């Protein structure tokens, strides 16, 4: 993990891509998906590959999943599409990558690179090449994307009462670059990217705070699951209405959290609304 000593009475974890920054659409549509089509030979079904990847990463309950499980899930949905089968395009699931994900807890390029060196597995080598290419494309393309309105104001409002952790499945280097670019690092205690562990592991810090004094802010079901696993409160940033969500957090959520009135009824109200934004199944027909 990383050295961490609480400095305040409250802890706030905050996701980055799609939550603090409006970078999800840009990263996936312009960086991840073109590389997926290229490295996994999906040119013949590029339209459907794009739809599958967008569904998994942006418009479903899998939103915000680590890139490697998301890649496999996208390929699994793609191979079930009748249109893909009709074109005779074989979509192969990289079983070497699936096996690696089951035994590895830090799903990032450093651990994957080590596994490639140790096993020479072709699936892992392909996934590493794809992931490196994604990072290079992100570094080249993703810039000048400011935080959502009310993010900076919320961080400023919290900074003298709470320890703020950036809790993300994004690579560490990208997180540090993006938060520094917009001068937001001054408000955070630590930045925790994919190489350091999982969101669930990061939020284990909540055990060092009093009950009801830890909160996770996120835009994906995985963020809520990490919060739930550690007994922390959860404030959702609803995909598609991020500005309104942040305004509500600034106007209402922060006050409730710090005053101890972020109760079960209020939490459920937020969760019910959040659940309506992200479906579990795609809008197209699938075959087994």
Instruction: Return the domain boundaries, the chain.
Output: 10-22+147-275, 24-141
Q: Which CATH superfamily is domain 10-22+147-275 in?
A: HAD superfamily/HAD-like (3.40.50.1000)
Q: What is the pLDDT along the chain (288 residues), one digit of tens a residue?
A: 556 789 999 999 999 989 999 999 999 999 999 999 999 999 999 999 999 999 999 999 999 888 999 999 999 999 999 999 999 999 999 999 999 999 998 899 999 999 999 999 999 999 999 999 999 999 999 888 999 999 999 999 999 999 999 999 888 988 999 999 999 999 999 999 988 888 899 999 899 999 999 999 999 998 999 999 999 999 999 998 999 999 999 999 999 999 999 999 999 999 999 999 999 999 998 887
Mean residue pLDDT across the chain: 94
pLDDT of residue 2: 58
Place of tokens 């900076």: 152
pLDDT of residue 13: 96
Distances (CA, A) of 91 to 85, 101, 107, 186: 9, 19, 23, 45
Instruction: Give the three-state DSSP class for 208.
Output: helix
Distances (CA, A) of 264 to 12, 68, 220: 18, 34, 20
- Look up the pTM and report it: 0.82
Of the candidates 3, 24, 4, 28, the one whose C-alpha atom is nearest the C-alpha of residue 15 is 24
């Amino acid at each position: 993990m990383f050295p961490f000593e609480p400095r305040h009475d409250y802890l706030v974890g905050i996701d980055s891509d799609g939550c603090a920054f409006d970078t999800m659409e840009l990263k996936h549509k312009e960086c991840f998906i073109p590389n997926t089509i290229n490295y996994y030979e999906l040119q013949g079904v590029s339209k459907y590959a794009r739809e599958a990847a967008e569904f998994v990463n942006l418009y479903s309950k899998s939103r915000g999943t680590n890139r490697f499980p998301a890649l496999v899930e996208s390929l699994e949905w793609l191979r079930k599409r009748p249109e893909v089968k009709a074109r005779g395009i074989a979509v192969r699931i990289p079983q070497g990558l699936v096996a690696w994900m089951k035994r590895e807890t830090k799903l990032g390029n450093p651990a994957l690179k080590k596994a490639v060196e140790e096993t020479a597995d072709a699936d892992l080598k392909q996934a590493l090449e794809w992931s490196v290419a994604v990072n290079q494309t992100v570094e080249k393309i993703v810039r000048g994307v400011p935080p959502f309105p009310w993010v900076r104001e919320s961080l400023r409002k919290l900074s003298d009462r709470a320890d703020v952790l950036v809790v993300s499945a994004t690579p560490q280097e990208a997180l540090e670059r993006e938060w520094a670019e917009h001068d937001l690092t001054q408000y955070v205690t630590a930045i925790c990217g994919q190489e350091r562990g999982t969101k669930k592991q990061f939020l284990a810090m909540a055990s060092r705070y009093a009950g009801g004094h830890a909160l996770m802010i996120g835009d994906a079901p995985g963020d809520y699951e990490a919060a739930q696993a550690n007994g922390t409160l959860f404030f959702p940033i609803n995909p598609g209405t991020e500005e309104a969500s942040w305004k509500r957090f600034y106007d209402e959520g922060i006050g409730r959290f710090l005053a101890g009135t972020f109760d079960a009824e209020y939490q459920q109200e937020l969760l019910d609304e959040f659940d309506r934004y992200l479906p579990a199944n795609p809008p197209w027909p699938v075959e087994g």
